[in-house]
């Protein structure tokens, strides 16, 4: 709680969120107006995800079977520790690893773990790289460095020998810096925006092109997939990434990557449970989330605290449910004002206020 209260006085966080919201809110409205089918997609997606939630083991088995038939080594990690161990044993030590922005990898603290094993690990999303070098945690799951000014970024990047004069100059220099890492990397790691059990395809969206490079250039690629990302077939996976990007405000995304096989290069898939399968009926509702981040930006509490409020990995209103599923319930559930804005803007119609009220009762019983 102390950190959250301190954050309230950090104007830079609320400024960054306000600017991001101003920039994206009208784009979300425009997306819904121009492409009304997105609402239908979200409804269909919700129904498909409810079916997956109710039969997790069936869909996990189906996904594993599809990947194994394609000759891809696949693992199911019951928790964060097991996922780290599996990935650590594949990568071992002394390697160069390029990573894409992934909340599931934040959830298991993968970068820090691989670094401790003696590997050189680089985030390749610009915002996430800045956060890595600054030694901070992402302030928003889609825009991790929204709280940092141009001046801050210029100073932070100096730590890795990048001396830029302004944002544009820094971006160009980071691009050169990362090009060398992509070429030298032994391993590429990504999360997954949606997974199709039918085809075994991993769907990833991005705007920078770094996912494309991280998943194709290194000799070996590892994808970590939260089991909530499993969908029955390609059609739903495609709808999921469309809903996710449209309701964040960047639609269509600059790049859509669909990864199935990587012959002759190697590929591994690690599914992560970490509390998802055993979620009770109320918390299962949170698993319908496509992680568009809209509820965060629109939340009046998040607008002054950013991701400092909500949990170790997932912040803001959606972070309450996700933290309870993947780690624990904190007393921060009492900082929500239960205004209902999060539910109103959620494309998946997740009743977040109801989840938070439920967690308050559970917290008292802990
Ligand atoms: S809870 Fe809803 S609005 Fe929030 S990130 Fe998930 S899908 Fe988006």
Question: Which ligand 1 atom lies nearest to the CA of residue 247?
Answer: 8
Q: Which carries the bigger pLDDT value, residue 154 or residue 310?
A: 154
Asked if residue 155 and residue 91 are part of one domain, the reply reads yes
The reply to whether 51 falls in a domain is: no
Do 320 and 338 lie in one domain? The reply is yes
Q: Are 154 and 84 within one domain?
A: yes
Q: Where are the alpha helices (DSSP H) in 148-267?
A: 150-158, 167-184, 210-216, 234-248
User: Is residue 253 very low, low, confident or very high in pLDDT (cuts 50, 70, 90)?
Assistant: very high
Count of CB atoms situated within 10 Å of the CB of 282: 17
Residue 112 falls inside a structural domain? yes
User: Where a domain ends, among 240, 272, 304?
Assistant: 272
What is the pLDDT at residue 262? 84
**Would you say the C-alpha torsion 198, 106, 124, 22 has a positive or negative sign?**
positive
- Measure the CA–CA gap between 305 and 3, rounded to whole angstroms: 9
Assess whether pLDDT exceeds 80 at residue 6. no
Q: How many domains in the chain?
A: 2
pLDDT digits (tens, 9 = 90+) for 273-323: 999 999 999 999 999 999 999 999 999 999 999 888 987 899 999 999 999
- CATH number of the domain residue 18 falls in: 1.10.1060
Q: Taking a C-beta distance cutoff of 8 angstroms, is the pair 207, 252 a contact?
A: no
Same domain, 203 and 333: no
At 53-70, the pLDDT tens digits run 999 999 999 999 999 999
Q: How far is the CA of 330 from the centre of ligand 1 (A)?
A: 20
C-alpha to C-alpha distance for 223 and 271, rounded to whole angstroms: 8
Residue ending a domain, among 208, 242, 272, is: 272
**pLDDT category of residue 264 using cuts at 50, 70 and 90:** confident
Strand 230-231 versus strand 266-272 pairing type: unpaired
Question: For residue 342, what pLDDT band results from cuts at 50, 70 and 90?
Answer: very high
What residue numbers bound the domain in which 264 lies? 56-272
284 in the same domain as 264? no
- If asked whether residues 228 and 247 sit together in one domain, one would say yes
Asked whether the beta carbons of 61 and 227 are under 8 A apart, the reply is no
Per-residue CA distances from 31 to 34, 108, 208, 214, 295 (Å) = 5, 33, 21, 29, 17
Residues 304 and 361 in one domain: yes
For residues 221-246, average pLDDT: 98
Please report, for the domain that includes residue 195, its CATH number.
3.40.50.10420
Test site for ligand 1: of 143, 193, 346, 355, most ligand atoms within 8 A of the Cβ: 346
Q: Given a cut of 80, is residue 228 above it in pLDDT? A: yes
Same domain, 129 and 173: yes
- 272, 299, 331 - which closes a domain: 272
Angle at 102 between CA 309 and CA 343, to 5 degrees: 45
Does 212 share its domain with 340?
no
Q: Which pLDDT score is estimated for 365?
A: 77
Q: Is residue 109 located within the same domain as residue 253?
A: yes
Alpha carbon of 363 to ligand 1 centroid (Å):
22
Binned at pLDDT 50, 70 and 90, residue 261 comes out as confident
For ligand 1, atom 6, the nearest C-alpha belongs to 289
Q: Which residues line ligand 1 (CB under 6 A)?
A: 289-295, 318, 345-348, 350, 352
Mean pLDDT for the chain?
94
């Amino acid at each position: 709680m102390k950190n959250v209260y301190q954050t309230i006085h950090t104007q830079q966080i609320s400024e960054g969120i306000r600017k991001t919201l101003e920039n994206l809110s009208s784009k979300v409205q425009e997306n819904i107006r121009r492409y009304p089918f997105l609402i239908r997609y979200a409804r269909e997606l919700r129904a498909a995800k409810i079916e997956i939630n109710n039969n997790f083991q069936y869909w996990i088995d189906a996904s594993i079977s599809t990947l194994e038939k394609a000759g891809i080594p696949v693992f199911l990690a019951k928790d964060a520790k097991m996922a780290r161990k599996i990935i650590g044993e594949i990568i071992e030590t002394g390697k160069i690893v390029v990573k894409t922005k992934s909340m599931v990898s934040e959830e298991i603290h993968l970068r820090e773990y691989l670094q401790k094993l003696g590997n050189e690990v680089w985030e390749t999303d610009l915002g996430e790289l800045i956060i890595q070098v600054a030694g901070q945690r992402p302030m928003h799951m889609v825009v991790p460095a929204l709280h940092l000014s141009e001046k801050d970024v210029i100073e932070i990047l100096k730590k890795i020998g990048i001396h830029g004069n302004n944002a544009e100059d820094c971006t160009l220099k980071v691009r050169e810096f990362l090009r060398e890492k992509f070429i030298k990397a032994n391993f590429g790691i990504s999360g997954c925006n949606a997974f199709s059990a039918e085809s075994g395809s991993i769907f990833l969206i991005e705007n920078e092109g770094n996912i494309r490079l991280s998943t194709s250039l290194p000799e070996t690629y590892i994808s970590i997939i939260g089991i909530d990302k499993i969908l029955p077939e390609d059609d739903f996976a495609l709808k999921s990434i469309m809903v996710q990007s449209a309701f964040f405000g960047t639609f269509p995304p600059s790049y859509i990557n669909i990864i199935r096989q990587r012959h002759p290069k190697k590929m591994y898939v690690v599914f992560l449970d970490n509390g998802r399968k055993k979620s009770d009926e109320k918390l299962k509702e949170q698993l319908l989330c496509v992680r568009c981040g809209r509820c965060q930006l629109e939340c009046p509490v998040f607008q002054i605290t950013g991701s400092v409020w909500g949990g170790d990995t997932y912040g803001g209103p959606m972070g309450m449910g996700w933290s309870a599923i993947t780690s624990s319930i904190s007393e921060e559930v009492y900082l929500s004002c239960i205004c209902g804005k999060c539910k109103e803007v959620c494309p998946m119609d997740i009743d977040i206020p109801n989840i938070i009220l439920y967690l308050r009762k559970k917290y008292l019983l802990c």
